[in-house]
Amino acid sequence: MAAHPPNDAEREFPWWLLAAGLLGLWLLAAILLDPVYSRILAIVSRGVGVTVYVTLVAFALASALGLALAVCVLSGSLVLRQAARFYIEIVRGIPILVLLFYIAFVGVPALVAGWNALAAPLGLEPLQTRDVSFLWRAIIALMLGYAAFIAEVFRAGIQSVDPGQIEAAKALGLTPWQRFRLVVLPQAVRTILPPLGNDFIALIKDSALVSVLGVADITQLGKVYAAGSFRFFETYNVVAFLYLVMTVGLSLALRGFERRMRRRTPHLEA
């Protein structure tokens, strides 16, 4: 048993990181020393909380739905398998921006109308479409879109577990839920976490699409300020800087985590 040796790509000096760090330091110095950049940062940074909130909530909900879809795809029921596969293939073929508009202006109004049709005979309080905020319409759209991709990540991770271990768990008399929780999931996590982390980083960037609905995230506040001040160059420098700090920072953390996992995972020598 030996640890997986680092390859040439892992040993080489990260010149790209040095270049990105120097660019980041230049932008940071400009933001701190230039009053125009400082004012833009003060305005645009108000949207960081919304961006983080949208990303975290949408990713948590998408992960839960994606896991459920993956379990359905791998289930013994033909109906569940085909229904989950239908959802995954259809939703993955729709651009996130189109899905965002569809949920915001078609899906939510249709759901509200259906609720009101059921609420009237039951004496329940009717809803108005405006009662569902655009923030939550955006979160629902991102959840539904990313769940289809995350489902495939979970499916691949679950299928990577050695079938012999599942058979051994059956022989020990473990229930299906116990087999999944105690045998399958702990081993699948090693395969699932890296692509799941990549999906999280992608969702941070795609959260900028909520600005088309007027949600006051980083992109929307930057767009409004630039349109009013005509400081497009400075504004979008700050917007790009904030996104890069989040995405590059998470990407580096994810790479470090992957390296630690590889060092801790023994591999059989040829």
For 70-127, give the DSSP string.
HHHHTSS-HHHHHHHHHHHHHHHTS-HHHHHHHIIIIIHHHHHHHHHHHHHHHTPPP-
In angstroms, the CA 85 to CA 70 distance is 9
Average pLDDT over the chain, rounded to whole?
A: 86
Give the rounded percent of residues in the chain with a pLDDT score beyond 70: 92
The CB-side HSE value for 37 (13 A sphere, CA atoms) comes to 18
Q: Which helix (H) or strand (E) holds 210?
A: none
Instruction: Give the pLDDT confidence score for residue 208 in this predicted structure.
Output: 94
CB 161 within 8 A of CB 188: yes
- Is pLDDT at 114 greater than 60 in this prediction? yes
Tokens of 159: 């299928």
- Is pLDDT at 267 greater than 70 in this prediction? no
- Is pLDDT at 136 greater than 50 in this prediction? yes
Instruction: Give the pLDDT confidence score for residue 7 in this predicted structure.
Output: 58
Q: What is the pLDDT of residues 36-45, one digit of tens each?
A: 988 999 999 9
User: Torsions phi, psi of 95, nearest 5?
Assistant: -60, 145
End-to-end CA distance of the chain: 10
Q: Would you report the helix, strand and coil content of the chain in percent, each value rounded to 5?
A: 85, 0, 15
pLDDT band at residue 268, thresholds of 50, 70 and 90? very low
Fold that domain 19-265 belongs to in CATH: MetI-like fold (1.10.3720)
Domains of the chain, residue spans: 19-265
- Is pLDDT at 265 greater than 70 in this prediction? no
User: Torsions phi, psi of 204, nearest 5?
Assistant: -60, -45
In angstroms, the CA 146 to CA 213 distance is 18
Q: What is the pLDDT of residues 192-250, one digit of tens each?
A: 888 899 999 999 999 999 999 999 999 999 999 999 999 999 999 999 989 988 998 88
263 burial via Cβ count (<10 Å: 0-12, 13-18, 19+) = exposed
